[in-house]
Amino acid sequence: FSATAYARVGLVGNPSDGFHGKTIAVAVENFCATVAIHMSDAITFTPNPRCDATSGFTSLAELHGALARDGYQGGIVLLQATCKRFHEYCAERHLVLPSRNFTLSYDTNIPRQVGLAGSSAIITATLRCLLHFFEVSDEQMPLPLRPSFVLSVESGELGITAGLQDRVIQAYEGCMFMDFAKELLEGRGYGDYSRIPTATLPPLWLAFVKDPSNSGKIHSDVKARWLAGEAAVVDAMASFASLTDRAREALLAGDAAALGDAMRENFRLRRAVYGDACLGADNIAMVELAAAHGAPAKFSGSGGAVVGLSTGEEQSAVLEAAFKQHGFGFVRLVP
């Protein structure tokens, strides 16, 4: 059995998902992670030859490049941490699992460290494999709770700074509106998640840096400032939520111009709260390059890539040429 989880782009509202805000995100077919599970005598995690390479480097420079791109533990740690939390989840709920062992393997083409939710995609696909393998029903782990489970793997087990948005869109797929109000999360353990038809989406594109830094660094000290009640940060997160409401109305009305305005304001607000030094010169340059060609754009996640709108194929071609000329990657997105 194998399961796939797709990369996502945050269309409007991020990063307020980690601050009881609202977001809209889209799962995209361009990039995905796939995990496979089969029965075996002992529990085994099969290294990925690209992401978990431990031999075959032709030079120290190649070794350095691989570790800078994939980290020291690759993706195996994500599989292991998911299995640990899955056992704890089942034990806490007194779920009796079939007595069987397994081998897990994975593959992914999601670019690393550019804020496309590559880690949570691997965890989400692993969870789907475990649910199928151990015959855990939707009643035993309801869909709305699965994003919180995935987040607990990342934040609790691995210390990854993250919010719920990525895990929700990867659980539900398509295009989703998400409200992470505190009373909802604390009252029932999940937010208000509703679907927006992907047919309402204008043409989307993604530009990304080819030599990214760790996207988690982009969060800086904003969380601490928010917890301390700093008015500028608290007000900004409320504004992100308001922009998300505006964007949903624009999407449902087929108003691409209004959606673009919300995206531009989303980036402006994020820049004001986080500061240029935190956002990074390359990330800002991508948004400004899009603006120079009349296209709205904003961070697709926590940094390293931007998502934008185009009016059609002609503008997309112009944007692609411009981004590639400046050394950035560029793809047209398929929701």
User: Is 107 a residue of the active site?
Assistant: no
Residue identified by tokens 């992401």 is 51
Which of 107, 166, 179, 282 does the annotation list as catalytic?
A: 166
Q: Which one-letter amino acid corresponds to residue 249?
A: E
Positions annotated as catalytic residues are: 166
